[in-house]
Amino acid sequence: MPARRLAPVRLAPVRLASVRLAVARLAIVTALALGGVAGCGGGGRPTLIVSAASSLTRALSRYGHEFPAARVRLSFGGSDALAAQIREGVRPDVFAAANTMLPDALYVQGLVERPVVFAGNRLVLAVPAGSGKVMGLADLARPGVTVAIGAGGVPVGSYTLALLGRLAPAQKAAILANVRTEEPDVTGIVGKLVNGAVDAGFLYATDVAAADGRLRAIELPARLLPKVAYGAAVVRGAPHPVQARAFVRGLVHGAGARELHAAGFLPAPANRRSPLGAKP
């Protein structure tokens, strides 16, 4: 008797945003659980949970290691997904985003204390270090070129779309037609580039520097560049507000600011500076 041929099973599609949210939730909840264990007993330093944009990985890892007031546990991801977790009730001590819009929105909702703008950055076109296929922005519109950008809701994606929106409509359309992937954070874009999955991608200058020679930055015309500003805030209801405020202050002036400078971050844009007030 011939074997019966089974019909293919069609799986229901899963929304990328839902997957990103679940991953971010798991990372933060795990950090909170580990922090709770680490903070118990011994009368030692409390454990501070910092939820931060992926582009801050190198600078905040170094800052957290030397932060004297607490043990620091870091959870990195797309700023939009991390903000969504706070809206859903997850309570890290500090939220640091790659834009100011997300911390400002959480402040309006009463979920964080007044945000502070602590750093700037610069959008660049990134390519694999050994590749000569893409030499400038114009090459992204050529047939056969593949491009990675950030998803629309994540800051690097929003900055990229703002830059593309300043191009002639035909050039913008041609570049968007070559986009092969929209990643949830800068780590995803870096991964696609270093693995040769795409020819070029839009990243921050600090992401290229952190790639340790695997990527090359192509500067973009100054007239097209959006202003990139990073905002941070202490999360209301978090366990260690005193240490959290000290951590955020250090991002503006102190050890955190020094590590940001060493990693290539720019000073906070002058018209976006905001002090961390003593009154929450």
Supply the CATH number for residue 245's domain.
Answer: 3.40.190.10
Residues 42 and 178 in one domain: no
> Is there a domain that residue 267 lies in?
yes
Q: Which domain holds residue 114?
A: 16-121+228-272
Q: Note whether 189 and 201 are within 8 A (CB).
A: yes
Do 111 and 161 lie in one domain? The reply is no
Q: Which pTM was predicted?
A: 0.84
Neighbours of 206 (CB within 10 A): 25
Contact 253, 148 (CB under 8 A): no
Is position 254 within any domain?
yes
**Sign of the alpha-carbon dihedral angle for 124, 188, 197, 166:** negative
Could you tell me which of 81, 110, 66, 76 has the C-alpha nearest to residue 15?
81
Co-location of 101 and 142 in the same domain = no
Is 47 found in the same domain as 63? yes
Predicted pLDDT of residue 269: 87
Please tell me whether residues 246 and 212 are part of one structural domain: no
At 44 the pLDDT is 78
127 and 142: one domain?
Answer: yes
- Under DSSP, the state recorded for 149 is E
* Whether 210 and 248 share a structural domain: no
Question: Do residues 80 and 63 lie in contact, with contact meaning Cβ atoms separated by under 8 Å?
Answer: no
Give, for 189, the enclosing helix (H) or strand (E).
Answer: helix 186-194
Name the domain count of the chain.
Answer: 2
CB 277 within 8 A of CB 112: no
Q: 206 and 233 share a domain? A: no
CB 216 within 8 A of CB 127: yes
The residues pairing with 266 across neighbouring beta strands, listed in sequence order, are 120
204 SS3 class: strand
Binned average pLDDT, 10 residues per bin, the chain of 280 residues = 36 40 47 42 77 98 97 97 97 98 98 98 97 96 98 96 98 98 97 97 98 97 97 96 98 97 94 44
Per-residue pLDDT, 271: 58
Starting from the edge strand earliest in sequence, which strands make up the sheet with 123-128, in order?
Answer: 179-183, 147-150, 200-204, 123-128, 215-218
Claim to verify: residue 117 and residue 130 sit in the same structural domain: no
Token pair belonging to 212: 């340790």
27, 184 Cβ separation under 8 angstroms: no
CA distance 59 to 244: 17
Same domain, 113 and 242: yes
Q: What are phi and psi of 77, to 5 degrees?
A: 180, -170
* SS3 at position 81: helix
Confidence at residue 270, expressed as pLDDT on a 0 to 100 scale: 73
Q: How far is CA 200 from CA 1, 117, 146, 147, 191, in A?
A: 54, 30, 7, 5, 11
Residue reference for tokens 């809206």: 87
Report the residue count for the chain.
Answer: 280
Same domain for 112 and 239, yes or no, is yes
